[in-house]
């Protein structure tokens, strides 16, 4: 589908969460025509349409070496979102095609979502809600313990980049003691932002009542949350994950930790497989089994979303492509 007036460039869009790509076409108007490929399956991408592209915007379609080989004219590939585990950056780089992601949207939304999960789990709101349905002769006396006040609890933030920093800033007024682990941040970052930096992840796990994840999916973080990781947690810790589902080494270790009480509760926006494949833990969650009710909170990978963020995401990605096609300026470039 061609949109917009005739222009010197052609920008392809693989697929879209919110079609049609009219906002992108408006941003690119006068610079490029838009070809909406409209497929989430890499094998269904049309080689002839790929061959005429000067830039490619990617939502959820995998971009592997076979697709890269079909992009002879392409000058840049841009991901709508932050994560890029479905894009073969090395193959693009070998073909001389720079790759850019889109990290500067939805920061507020993900941070708000993470803190909302964290506070609701720490205050045991979901458990109170589940149990209160059965109270009849008593009411206010039905309290849950342990239930720590915020100023008596320690939060460990794994990854203190844009979103992690936003989380720290939101948590500080509550009085939490905040630990941060992020080898990628420069010396003194903790002083500028206001958290206590730890040099070893194990130190954070052993001291934190709540652990929240804000790091990218890399070879080091894939499968990070395994049985060994969970065993190092402070007993009864809370986990919040608004980063990547593949950081879970499957759901078996998580189920075991929840059943044993090593992990008191989990709030997650992401799962190892989405939509989720059948698993005993998720089956128990769906059935609202008493042992788990209120202890596992799952949202459908939409922490990034708000009406404003959706517009910001789309506009930013299209502007990144236009900026490079017209001015040769690369922003948010990712190297292999």
Find, among 79, 58, 82, 85, the residue nearest to 223 by Cα. Answer: 85
Four-residue CA torsion sign, 257, 122, 108, 206: negative
Find, among 307, 278, 241, 301, the residue nearest to 60 by Cα. Answer: 301
The answer to whether 301 is a known catalytic residue is yes
Contacts 24+ apart (CB under 8 A), 79-85: 79/317, 80/17, 80/313, 80/314, 80/317, 81/304, 81/313, 82/106, 82/216, 83/216, 83/217, 83/244, 84/334, 85/217, 85/244, 85/246
What the block records as the tokens of 216 is 């990218």
Find the DSSP H helices in 226-272: 227-231, 252-260
State the residue for tokens 């500080």.
Answer: 172
State the residue for tokens 């001015």.
Answer: 327
Residue of 170, 301, 305, 315 marked active site? 301
Assess contact for 58 and 80: CB atoms under 8 A. Answer: yes
Query: What are the strands, taking DSSP E only, across 249-314?
Result: 263-268, 296-298
Residue of 220, 274, 289, 308 marked active site? 274
If one counts every other C-beta atom within 10 angstroms of the C-beta of residue 227, the result is 15
Q: How remote is the C-alpha of 9 from its chain's centroid?
A: 32
Helix axes 107-122, 125-132, angle to 10 degrees: 50
Report how far residue 248's alpha carbon sits from residue 106's, in angstroms, rounded to the nearest whole number. Answer: 23
Residue of 244, 295, 314, 322 marked active site? 244
3-class DSSP assignment, residue 200: coil
**Cis ω before 20 (30° cut-off from 0):** yes
The residues assigned a catalytic role are: 244, 274, 301
């Amino acid at each position: 589908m061609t949109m917009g007036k005739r222009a010197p460039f052609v920008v392809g869009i693989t697929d879209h969460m919110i079609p049609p790509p009219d906002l992108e076409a408006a941003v690119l108007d006068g610079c490029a025509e838009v070809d909406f490929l409209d497929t989430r399956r890499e094998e269904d991408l049309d080689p002839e349409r790929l061959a005429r592209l000067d830039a490619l915007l990617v939502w959820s379609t995998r971009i592997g070496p076979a697709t890269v080989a079909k992009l002879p004219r392409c000058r840049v590939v841009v991901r709508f979102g932050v994560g890029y585990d479905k894009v073969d950056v090395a193959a693009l780089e070998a073909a001389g095609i720079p790759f850019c992601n889109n990290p500067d949207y939805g920061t507020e939304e993900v941070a708000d979502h993470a803190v909302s999960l964290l506070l609701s789990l720490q205050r045991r709101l979901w458990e109170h809600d589940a149990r209160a349905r059965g109270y009849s002769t008593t009411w206010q006396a039905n309290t849950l313990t342990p239930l720590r006040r915020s100023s008596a609890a320690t939060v460990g933030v794994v990854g203190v980049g844009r979103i992690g920093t936003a989380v720290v800033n939101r948590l500080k007024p509550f009085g939490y003691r905040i630990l941060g682990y992020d080898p990628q941040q420069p010396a003194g970052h903790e002083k500028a932002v206001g958290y206590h930096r730890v040099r070893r992840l194990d130190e954070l796990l052993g001291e934190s009542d709540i652990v929240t994840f804000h790091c990218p999916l890399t070879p080091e973080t894939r499968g990070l949350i395994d049985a060994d990781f969970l065993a190092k947690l402070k007993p009864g810790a809370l986990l919040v994950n608004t980063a990547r589902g593949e950081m879970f080494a499957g759901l078996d270790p998580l189920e075991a930790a929840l059943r044993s009480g090593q992990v008191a509760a989990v709030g997650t926006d992401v799962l190892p497989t989405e939509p989720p494949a059948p698993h005993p833990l998720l089956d128990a969650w769906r059935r609202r089994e008493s042992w788990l009710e209120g202890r596992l909170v799952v949202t459908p990978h939409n922490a990034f979303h708000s009406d404003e963020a959706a517009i910001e995401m789309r506009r930013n990605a299209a502007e990144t492509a236009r900026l490079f096609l017209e001015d040769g300026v690369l922003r948010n470039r990712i190297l292999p």
